[in-house]
Amino acid sequence: MLGLHYEFKRGYMGLEYYGRTVSIKMLPVGVHMGQLQSVLSLDDTAKKVKELKEKFEGKTVILGVDDLDLFKGISLKFLAMGQLLEEHQSLRGKVVLVQITNPARSRGKDVQEVLNETTAIAKEINDKYSEPGYQPIIVIDGSATTQDKAAYYAISECCLVNAVRDGMNLVPYTYTVCRQGSPVLDRALGN
């Protein structure tokens, strides 16, 4: 289309552009639909969804699922939640941010700093806005199974992805698939 010379070799495309060779790799990505649909069809998942729905009865659940990483913006998400509760007092006791943090892909000082910062911000907001039976920010740190995540995806009103810098993030796609439910989940929720 651009009139450039190119070659395909083993999933790569190389094009000549102003005397340079530019390589492009074809990387189709997606979620494993079969695995996700089988998890959504399990009775245990339906049971977990029902438990979570009862636990958060009368509350709007906002979900975050991110790696514990400097660029995922988890602390910014927590600060935004604090600002929401500060500016809209009527939402206090009614909106919950559940943040699932996947284990960090690396180790080191920066990961520990991110953990310390997000923990401190969540604690500050929870200390300020918690009430009996209500905690505005719930952090699930690295121990959520695929089944747990699917259940949280299914009961949440929205999934908040606000990475400062990111590559291909499949969380929105996974959220959308889980929100479509399954016959098993529909029965458990009385739909």
pLDDT in tens, 75-123: 999 999 999 999 999 999 999 999 999 887 777 788 889 899 999 999 9
- pLDDT average, residue stretch 32-49: 90
> Do 67 and 21 lie in a common domain?
no
> Do 42 and 23 lie in a common domain?
no
State how far Cα 40 lies from the chain centre: 17
Distance CA 60, CA 58 (A): 7
Q: In a 10 Å sphere around its CB, with 0-12 CB exposed, 13-18 middle and 19+ buried, how is residue 186 labelled?
A: exposed
What is the total count of domains within the chain?
Answer: 2
Domain that residue 18 falls in: 1-30
- Residue 157 maps to which CATH number? 3.40.50.2000
Query: pTM of this prediction?
Result: 0.82
